[in-house]
Amino acid sequence: MCFIALLGLLAPRIVFFLLWLFTPAFVLAPFAGVWVWPLLGIIILPTTTLAYCWAVAMGYAFGSVSGLFLLAVGLLIDLGLFGAGRGVARR
């Protein structure tokens, strides 16, 4: 599981897509079986969506500090990736 988490930080879209392909319950269960939200998550905020799926699978979600911490870390990573892309575009 740690190896998958490490890959999720390096290439979150690929890991999320592979998890969706091989374990669809991991991806669709947090979104009540609706496929549109995970698809938007892959496009817009892949690390945050992956962190949300992981938090729900572990039983944390929004009801605990651990779940909110996972979501916050995923969001900060995604926002950092957006900021890094803008910095490269300026050069």
Q: State the residue range of the domain holding 30.
A: 2-90
Which pLDDT value is given to residue 90?
60
CA 75 – CA 66 distance, rounded (Å) = 14
Which pLDDT value is given to residue 14?
87
First-to-final CA distance of the chain:
37
Residue 46 and residue 78 in contact, taking contact as beta carbons nearer than 8 Å: yes
Residue 60 and residue 66 in contact, taking contact as beta carbons nearer than 8 Å: yes
Residue-wise pLDDT tens digits, 42-68: 899 999 998 899 888 888 777 788 888
Based on the structure, what is the number of domains in the chain? 1
**pTM of the entire predicted model:** 0.79
22 pLDDT higher than 80: yes
pLDDT band at 21 (very low <50, low <70, confident <90, very high): very high
Higher-confidence residue of 10 and 20: namely 20
